[in-house]
Structure 1
Amino acid sequence: MLRDLQRGEDPQIAAITGVIAHISPDVLVLTDFDFDRDSIALDQFADGFGASYPHYFALHPNAGIATGLDLDGNGRLGDARDAQGYGRFAGDGGMAILSRFPVVDDQVSDLSMTLWRDLPGATLPQKDGAPFLSDNAQDILRLSSTGHWIVPIALPDGKPLSVMAFSATPPVFDGPEDMNGLRNRDELRLWEVVLDGAYGAVPDSFAITGNANLDPRDGDGISGAMASFLQHPRLQDPLPGQDTVDWPEDGPGDLRVSYVLPSVDWRVTDAGVFWPASDDPERALIGDDGLTAGPHRLVWVDISR
């Protein structure tokens, strides 16, 4: 990725940066962004926007961290699915935040180390009436396939906005034990537990953001969990029913999997999914087939106090 950023010739990167520059959000959550310890790639990416994003933040994701165990039960060790979160190398497919406003680094909460079994009410996979995960696996397997962060952003009015960012595992690519489906649901439930106060004080003003990989009505996964989550009394849903990803019609199809959900203290003034129609001049930003920037669409919400 760093090589492609430095060369400046990759059409997908060009399309992604074009969309971001066009929408020009004040705070941006990136998912599936590879992590390196010194944030060299993130620094290079942020530089592409000039002075627009002087502040950025990233932590090492769980994706790609080797466990040394056969988590998927295929009889082999060291596969991408045997890592803490799917990944071919440590840092594969992480998250990052770009911001026009300062990140309050010393007040960040990182819940990514939470073990799946330690989530209140966790539902771990079973096969033939027995635990699918060994005791050793349950002792080390984290719930977050990528991460769960609470990142305060210092806004100009002095009151922080806590960005609660995550990127959940797809609820597919497993077997009858439904390991990924159950984990996907519990990655979402972790935010419910946070909002109920189980992990300390709940931020006054926040926005839950990222790729839940779960549609409240359609597709694979435990859709009812997403539908219920969107009704949480501390959240508001600015975009009910709008799809956010363009997957093939002979596959998952168009689904809503990415979300920006502000807390109820905010006033939502506008919201959208950047998905211009084929006859819209802005279509050039994502290509004639709509896939130059990838299948996922940028979700944006304007909020004010």
Structure 2
Amino acid sequence: MLRDIQRGTPQVQAITQVVDHIAPDILFLQGVDYDADLLGLTALRDHFATQGIIYPHLFALPPNTGLPTDVDLNGDGIRHRAADAQGYGKFRGAGGMALLSKWPITLQRDFTTLLWKEMPDAQLPSLNGAPFPSQEAQDIQRLSSTGHWVVTVTAPDGPISLLLFAAGPPVFDGPEDRNGLRNADEIRLWAQFLDGKLGPLPDTPLVLLGGANLDPTYGEGRHAAIHALLTHPRLQDPLATAGPTVDWRDPTPGDLRVDYLLPSRDITVSKAGVFWPKPPAPLSERLSVNGTIASRHHIVWADIQF
């Protein structure tokens, strides 16, 4: 990733143009490889700066993606493969999360190391009455596919807390529905947090941001989990009618809403949307599956006051 950023590959150029067009004060990205010195993220930040988008503050933590274990975590009888990492990944740090901000960032809570079985009311997979894939696996399996963070950004008008995550897909498993159950619990973690089951809540306005990998209606997965979050009494959904956020036309299931931005109800949202211009609108070619693509996922954004 660092090499591609430094070379300014077409995808990097496309991402930069999209970010330049939206020009967010706070930008949360998923699928950004993590390295301990944040060299990749710093290079990406510097690439944005060439277009005048300046982010003095960067934040990333080691994700669960690619974190090796010595256990068969997916039940295929083989160990030490990408699916046997705490979160799917061919190398440690693959496809992590990153936050870029014009204002200082402070970590408040990190649930990335929380064991799945230790989450209140965890829905662990079983097959024929036995823990799947094994009790040994469930004893070490973390809940987060990538990570769950609570950070505070100190903006000019005061602090705001961000609940950040990137859940794994609810597919690519078997009749035990391991991935479907895990995806649902990754989403349910935030509902439990907002209900005070995981400790005190921040005394600031907050915004939940992330990729849930789950549409409220279409595609596979346990839709009740995302419905509960979208209708949580502490949150509002300014993008309820904005449409899909990801282009999964090839292969199926098609265009789905899987990326979310949910402010707390004490925040005023003046505008919100999904940046998905259609031809011949400017930058539409940068989002085309058949051309240079920034990402299959499209930026969800909101202008807020608090």
TM-score (norm 1): 0.95
Report the counterpart of residue 229 of structure 2 in structure 1: 229
CA distance in 2, matches of 1:219, 1:169: 14
CA distance in 2, matches of 1:249, 1:115: 34
Report the counterpart of residue 96 of structure 1 in structure 2: 98
Report the counterpart of residue 10 of structure 2 in structure 1: 11
Report the counterpart of residue 172 of structure 2 in structure 1: 173
Report the counterpart of residue 53 of structure 1 in structure 2: 55
CA spacing shift, 1:126–1:275, aligned 2, 3 Å: same
**2:283 match: secondary structure:** helix
CA distance in 2, matches of 1:57, 1:293: 21
Q: Can you give the 5+ residue segments of structure 2 that lack an aligned partner in the other structure?
A: none
Shift of 1:122: 0.6
CA distance in 2, matches of 1:160, 1:69: 42
Report the counterpart of residue 196 of structure 2 in structure 1: 197
Report the counterpart of residue 65 of structure 1 in structure 2: 67
Report if aligned partners of 1:103, 1:154 keep a CA contact under 8 Å in 2: yes
CA distance in 2, matches of 1:210, 1:229: 12
CA distance in 2, matches of 1:284, 1:221: 31
* More displaced 10-residue stretch of structure 1: 188-197 or 277-286: 277-286
* More displaced 10-residue stretch of structure 1: 41-50 or 276-285: 276-285
User: Any residues of structure 2 matched to 1:236-251 within 5 Å, and which?
Assistant: 236-241=236-241, 242-248=243-249, 251=252
User: Which amino acid in structure 2 is aligned with residue 125 of structure 1?
Assistant: P
CA spacing shift, 1:52–1:178, aligned 2, 3 Å: same
The answer on 1:41 being equivalent to 2:40 is yes
User: Which amino acid in structure 1 is aligned with residue 30 of structure 2?
Assistant: T
Report the counterpart of residue 26 of structure 2 in structure 1: 27
Shift of 1:38: 0.4
CA distance in 1, matches of 2:156, 2:231: 30
Report if aligned partners of 1:239, 1:272 keep a CA contact under 8 Å in 2: yes
CA spacing shift, 1:250–1:4, aligned 2, 3 Å: closer
Moved over 3 A (4+): 287-291
CA distance in 1, matches of 2:251, 2:165: 28
The answer on 1:110 being equivalent to 2:110 is yes
CA distance in 2, matches of 1:56, 1:100: 9
CA spacing shift, 1:133–1:73, aligned 2, 3 Å: closer
Q: Summarize deviations over 1:237-295 as a string: whole Å, max 9, x none.
A: 01114200011165110000000111111001000111001121231332484661121
Report if aligned partners of 2:10, 2:292 keep a CA contact under 8 Å in 1: no
* More displaced 10-residue stretch of structure 1: 241-250 or 183-192: 241-250
CA distance in 2, matches of 1:148, 1:94: 11
Report if aligned partners of 2:149, 2:165 keep a CA contact under 8 Å in 1: yes
User: Any residues of structure 2 matched to 1:111-130 within 5 Å, and which?
Assistant: 111-130=111-130
CA distance in 1, matches of 2:124, 2:3: 40
CA spacing shift, 1:250–1:3, aligned 2, 3 Å: closer
CA spacing shift, 1:266–1:278, aligned 2, 3 Å: same
**2:150 match: secondary structure:** strand
Report if aligned partners of 1:283, 1:290 keep a CA contact under 8 Å in 2: no
Shift of 1:49: 2.0
Q: Figure out how many residues of one structure are paired with residues of the other and give that number.
A: 301
Report the counterpart of residue 136 of structure 2 in structure 1: 136
CA distance in 2, matches of 1:285, 1:64: 29
Shift of 1:7: 1.2
CA distance in 2, matches of 1:249, 1:226: 24
**2:29 match: secondary structure:** strand
CA spacing shift, 1:161–1:130, aligned 2, 3 Å: same
User: Which amino acid in structure 1 is aligned with residue 105 of structure 2?
Assistant: V
* More displaced 10-residue stretch of structure 1: 230-239 or 288-297: 288-297
**1:217 match: secondary structure:** coil
Shift of 1:229: 1.5
